[in-house]
Amino acid sequence: MTTLDHNLDTQTNVPAGEGFTAALRRDHDRLFEAFWAHPFLAGLRDGSLSREATLFYVGQDHQYLSAYLRCYGLGMAASPDRAWMEHFVDSSLFLLNDETHPHHVMCRAFGVDYEQVQHARLAPSSQAYIDHMMVSGHDSLGVLSFALLPCPWTYIWAGERYLQQVDPATAENNPFHEWWTFYGSPDSQQLLSDLLERCDQLAAQAGPAERARMARAFELSCYHEIRFWQMAFTQESWDDVPNEVLGSD
Amino acid sequence: MTTLDHNLDTQTNVPAGEGFTAALRRDHDRLFEAFWAHPFLAGLRDGSLSREATLFYVGQDHQYLSAYLRCYGLGMAASPDRAWMEHFVDSSLFLLNDETHPHHVMCRAFGVDYEQVQHARLAPSSQAYIDHMMVSGHDSLGVLSFALLPCPWTYIWAGERYLQQVDPATAENNPFHEWWTFYGSPDSQQLLSDLLERCDQLAAQAGPAERARMARAFELSCYHEIRFWQMAFTQESWDDVPNEVLGSD
Amino acid sequence: MTTLDHNLDTQTNVPAGEGFTAALRRDHDRLFEAFWAHPFLAGLRDGSLSREATLFYVGQDHQYLSAYLRCYGLGMAASPDRAWMEHFVDSSLFLLNDETHPHHVMCRAFGVDYEQVQHARLAPSSQAYIDHMMVSGHDSLGVLSFALLPCPWTYIWAGERYLQQVDPATAENNPFHEWWTFYGSPDSQQLLSDLLERCDQLAAQAGPAERARMARAFELSCYHEIRFWQMAFTQESWDDVPNEVLGSD
Amino acid sequence: MTTLDHNLDTQTNVPAGEGFTAALRRDHDRLFEAFWAHPFLAGLRDGSLSREATLFYVGQDHQYLSAYLRCYGLGMAASPDRAWMEHFVDSSLFLLNDETHPHHVMCRAFGVDYEQVQHARLAPSSQAYIDHMMVSGHDSLGVLSFALLPCPWTYIWAGERYLQQVDPATAENNPFHEWWTFYGSPDSQQLLSDLLERCDQLAAQAGPAERARMARAFELSCYHEIRFWQMAFTQESWDDVPNEVLGSD
């Protein structure tokens, strides 16, 4: 095991003039880098990701996005005004109508129908991530928003980074190239920028206790993003029990 | 005071072959009739409703519909599948985009801008209705759905009844006529018919304890609908305190 | 109707050095006075309260306290640490074991058994109050705490005031005297003092948006306290429909 | 990896005359056996469990029990009557006052103070379990109760089994012996028996959709119990990232 050296109890101190999201991004840069470095994402970069890992990801991510919709619902329920409600309705429409596109790209790469790869059940790490988001959604609009933020932030940040550095020859042959252009698009950048502004507004209105819960929810979702790659990469199952442990009995 | 003779504890017994919503409708016919008979709705029928009552209603109903959107959010959060989530997203879009129409009809009748009649606060009866819906939304999808049902059911039922019996000469001169055609339209009938089917499905899946809470949530919302007319008709305020009572001190 | 002159939108401005609860108390003094002046409480002061009003109150208040216990549950669920959880467990025990005492005093005054006066259903104003508390309980620990605060504050404040000014001769003949000594006792004063400290701590940790919701929840509960007297005084029913209104149809 | 062969989608079919909990117990016997066989519990049986694993467990389980208290709070909030509320208040008192005893036994075995082993943060598997319980607690009293059930059931079942088969000589030298007598006591058997009856009552009142969610919540908590042993046995950290995976990048 590699231990990423980190003190979980570090307080997020926001210097004067810096937004709360910028401070969190700085504090958790190592988690963004671990997200980027994970072999699942590396496999999407060079086109080498296995059929099994890719399709397992699609099946789990479809369920994950259903939970994301449920969290948008909790967001609507906690909305202080119609502008916030419209934000969640618009986000729901985007997720229902557009965010299936990257899934279809992945299915096409292996000549499989989207309907064929659906999963009835969530793997342990997907379930844990979803439950974390739902619990955050029963806390406050602020805590929910920071639990939801790492998903778009890591994907859109990684998409932009890929497009900036990809070799045109690699891109041409990468069956996942359209996956990257979806997340790295200017539209996605704009969506992320709007989200960050909303989150900074919520943090500015929150007291210290809620702000600490926001930071914690954000950090846990960053970890969950990395664990989601790992879940798909290993096609994780509830019935995995390490041999070395049971063997020692 | 007129006491509507009714035993609140009557169990809703659903005869074989009858849907749960049909049984509730039958059990609470007197509340639908009280809704229809209320002078607020009578004033909308003959065009005599006062400017004060009409505009107060619009201000309160706008806030009420915001709470309705929050309840759709709770519905999304409790949705068992994407079809239910899409139902709530579609319903939210309808409410955001179309259901302002009857409000605009009312404002136009008095030459007032919609923005001018907005209320920052809810009157006691509106707040009570909203709180009832929100509490139901924290119970279950089934209880929520039955708490939400009387609003569309009473309005659409009344709309159809009005259109069937209105004298064309009256209709022509009624400044609220478009209000009635909105709720009495075939589209509204179709919407109601879909809702009833969804509610009957939820009731069929529920156990006796949840079904009893569904019936109770429905009954209370029927009462709240009548009280909402009364609230607007009297321009109810938190600071209304009956003289005859305080005077006896 | 008497209109208590008040601007509901007044912001609660807390001067430096003043606690949030002290500022709320100052802002809503007129509601405390209306609580005190209500003929229901006047009847408890001079012993003249009718059998009907008293027993209706007991039946409704028993259900109200059950809802209060549910709110303690929501408080436990939102507790940041074990000290808060123990506070809610202790408060639940107090409510289950001790707070039936004033109810028994009232029943004894009319020679009735406690079990005989139980109500299966809540009257409209009791239900509205309970729903308000439950909705607050799904918001945050802070908002919940301020929604719960007016109940002990008004009762304990009134108890102390009564004991300070009551004529010993009146006290001796007042069948409700023990009701007053329960709420006016030094133990109750201590309990209130602890609650106020907890609430001030929560307000100090909250941001401006949550603090505004705390102030609003508190204000509404003050109104609900007065309306609860009115509900019991008139033995309010869902089926009360004003004659003057229905008659005008 | 050992794969425990199991079809997660198997429906729980309850034969006539069999309680719902008995059917679940039968369906998930392999999970109870995996719980029993785990080297953490084996180490508690023969007294060989390491200081590190034991104390890590205590630190995590204290936090876990705090979350359990929060879930009792959600149970109170969803209680249909005072008998259910009293059940949750009594259970909370038991947890606050008595259930620290097995933790103290473990600390004494290594001459450590209870206060020294407290953890500020939950490990991934503990957090996942807690979030699962909290999400269940926002569903219904029934789903919550089945999510909470495997914790007492596995511990008390294991306690009884240990006491029945332990060699008196082993027992005498086992520093964890009192841990076993706590869970294997007749009082604990009675507590479990009461819980099973409550759960069967809730299942009998539930419809098929809620019953399916109850069964799923129960199954997941059984898995979480095994994963909790694994978490403590390996002193799991959010920063564990498998070398074989990152190394392949």
pLDDT (tens digit per residue) in B126-159: 999 999 999 999 999 999 999 999 999 999 999 9
Q: What residue in A sits closest to C208 (Cα-Cα)?
A: A205
By Cβ distance, the residue of D127, D138, D223 closest to A238 is D223
Q: At residue D34, does pLDDT exceed 70? A: yes
D127 touches chain A (CB under 8 A): yes
Nearest-neighbour CA in chain B from D116: distance (Å): 40
Q: Which residues of chain C fall short of a pLDDT of 70?
A: 1-17, 241-249
Cβ(D66)–Cβ(D238) below 8 Å: no
Contacts of D134 in chain C (CB under 8 A): 77
Which of C69, C82, C93, C133 is most worth mutating to test chain D (most D CB atoms within 10 A of its CB)? Answer: C69
Structural tokens at position B43: 């004033």
A209 touches chain C (CB under 8 A): yes
Judge: A210–C210 Cβ closer than 8 Å, yes or no: yes
Q: Which residues of chain A fall short of a pLDDT of 50?
A: 1-11, 244-249
Structural tokens at position B122: 């809810």
Judge: C96–D88 Cβ closer than 8 Å, yes or no: no
Subunit partners of chain D (3 or more CB pairs within 8 A)? A, B, C
Query: Looking at this predicted complex, what is its ipTM?
Result: 0.91
Average pLDDT, chain D: 91
Contacts of C82 in chain D (CB under 8 A): 66, 69, 96
Which of D135, D143, D220 is most worth mutating to test chain A (most A CB atoms within 10 A of its CB)? Answer: D135
D70 touches chain C (CB under 8 A): yes
In three-state secondary structure terms, C33 is helix
Q: At residue B241, does pLDDT exceed 80? A: no
Q: How confident is the model at residue B98 (pLDDT cuts 50, 70, 90)?
A: confident
Nearest to B130 by CA among B212, B197, B228, B45: B228
Contacts of B76 in chain A (CB under 8 A): 69-70, 72-73, 76, 92
The pTM assigned to this predicted structure is: 0.93
| Residue found under tokens 């201000």 | B59
Q: What residue in D sits closest to A242 (Cα-Cα)?
A: D1
List of residues 6+ apart from D28 with CB closer than 8 A: D218, D219, D222
Q: Check residue B234 and give left, alpha or beta (phi > 0: left; psi -120 to 50: alpha).
A: alpha
B59 touches chain A (CB under 8 A): no
C237 touches chain D (CB under 8 A): no
Nearest-neighbour CA in chain D from B72: distance (Å): 16
Q: What is the pLDDT of residue C163?
A: 96
Q: CA-to-CA distance for D205 and D93, rounded, in angstroms?
A: 28
Counts of helices then strands in chain B (DSSP H, E): 14, 2
Q: What residue in A sits closest to D49 (Cα-Cα)?
A: A249
Q: CA-to-CA distance for A228 and A130, rounded, in angstroms?
A: 11
Contacts of D237 in chain A (CB under 8 A): 3
Judge: D238–A128 Cβ closer than 8 Å, yes or no: no
Judge: C210–A207 Cβ closer than 8 Å, yes or no: yes
Judge: B74–A70 Cβ closer than 8 Å, yes or no: no
Distances in whole angstroms, Cα of residue C200 to Cα of each of C17, C143, C164, C217: 12, 12, 27, 15
Counts of helices then strands in chain C (DSSP H, E): 14, 2
Question: What type of residue sits at position A152?
Answer: P
From the number of C-beta atoms within 10 Å of its C-beta (0-12, 13-18, 19+), residue A148 rates as buried
DSSP state of D100: T
Q: CA-to-CA distance for A13 and C122, rounded, in angstroms?
A: 49
Judge: B34–C138 Cβ closer than 8 Å, yes or no: no
C206 touches chain A (CB under 8 A): yes
Nearest-neighbour CA in chain A from C12: distance (Å): 17
Q: What is the pLDDT of residue A14?
A: 66
Cβ(B138)–Cβ(C130) below 8 Å: no
Q: What is the pLDDT of residue A4?
A: 42
C10-33: pLDDT as tens digits:
445 666 567 999 999 999 999 999
B104-113: pLDDT as tens digits:
999 999 999 9
Contacts of B132 in chain C (CB under 8 A): 127-128, 131
Nearest-neighbour CA in chain B from D206: distance (Å): 4
Q: CA-to-CA distance for D174 and C176, rounded, in angstroms?
A: 62
Interface of C with B in 132-151 (CB under 8 A): 132, 134-135, 138
Q: CA-to-CA distance for C236 and C247, rounded, in angstroms?
A: 20
Domains and CATH numbers, chain B: 20-235 (1.20.910.10)
Q: CA-to-CA distance for A189 and A194, rounded, in angstroms?
A: 9
Q: CA-to-CA distance for C59 and C56, rounded, in angstroms?
A: 5
Q: At residue D138, does pLDDT exceed 90? A: yes
